[in-house]
Amino acid sequence: MTQTIFITGASSGIGKATAHYFHDKGWNVVATLRDPAQAGDLAALPRVLVSCLDVTDAASVVAAVDAAEARFGGIDVLLNNAGYGAYGPLEAFDMEGIRRQFDTNVIGLLEVTKAVLPGMRAQGKGVIVNISSIGGRMTFPLGSLYHGTKFAVEGLSEALHYELEPLGIRVKIVEPGMIATDFSGRSFDFRQTPDLTAYQPVVDKLFAVLGSPEMAATASPPSVVSEAIWAAVTDGTPRLRYTAGADAAAYMAARSAQDDATFIGGVKAQFGLGG
């Protein structure tokens, strides 16, 4: 029987690459995105259902899940991929901006998961893959909001692992490193205001590092993440975490081997920060 994967944030990057990857493997694919007009070539593929879904709109979440179950009979895998990165000094964000980051990356993920769970419980099986980041286990300067959401994804995923495994539902976390996607474009919300001059030296150093050829050279294609997602879905093990990208593996190895002072000191050195 053909299996079905339900993907949020499928308009570009990791989501779109993974939709193609699973479709090429013979799966049914539910590609959800805020604007179905951006589905591109996905819309013309057989066994692909393109649906409108905004993770911050509960009604659209329910409608997309209902449509998927009606079309394919059930959802075997949920890929919670939709999200974006809010960076900049905390003082530069109003509460609306702060809530938007958490509503999208955390509350929206929970909203979609809750909508899919009844069907998975009825089936007695399923896999939920949550896209975290190496930024869910370590941090870069000026990323308090983004890293806060990804640390939350790590914690809620680990806790869900305990409660859902007895029901036949596996929870997996995929942690990409630098990926060559639109994350730094339309999926990147950077804020700084002219009056917050005290933070400008750190802002300048952040962009100097993130925009450097050396950092760009470490970026992996989205297909690397798709491969990690495929492994998480199909390996049949209770393994919880999967890194994606050589830089992610290196960062996580260092984070595990070093104490806080050593690791954080290395990040400060990378960004030219004293202290």
Catalytic residue among 12, 51, 132, 220: 132
Specify the 3-state DSSP secondary structure of 165.
helix
Alpha helices in the chain (DSSP H): 13-24, 58-72, 95-102, 108-123, 144-164, 200-210, 213-217, 222-234, 246-257, 260-270
* Chain-centre distance for alpha carbon 8: 9
Catalytic residue among 21, 87, 146, 199: 146
Separation CA 143–CA 158 (nearest Å): 22
φ and ψ of 71, to 5 deg: -75, -45
Residues 173, 162 contacting (CB under 8 angstroms): no
Asked about 87 being catalytic, the answer comes back as: no
* Chain-centre distance for alpha carbon 138: 15
Asked about 146 being catalytic, the answer comes back as: yes
Asked about 268 being catalytic, the answer comes back as: no
Catalytic residue among 150, 199, 220, 226: 150
Separation CA 12–CA 165 (nearest Å): 31
φ and ψ of 172, to 5 deg: -130, 145
Beta bridge partners of 85: 188
Residues that are catalytic:
132, 146, 150
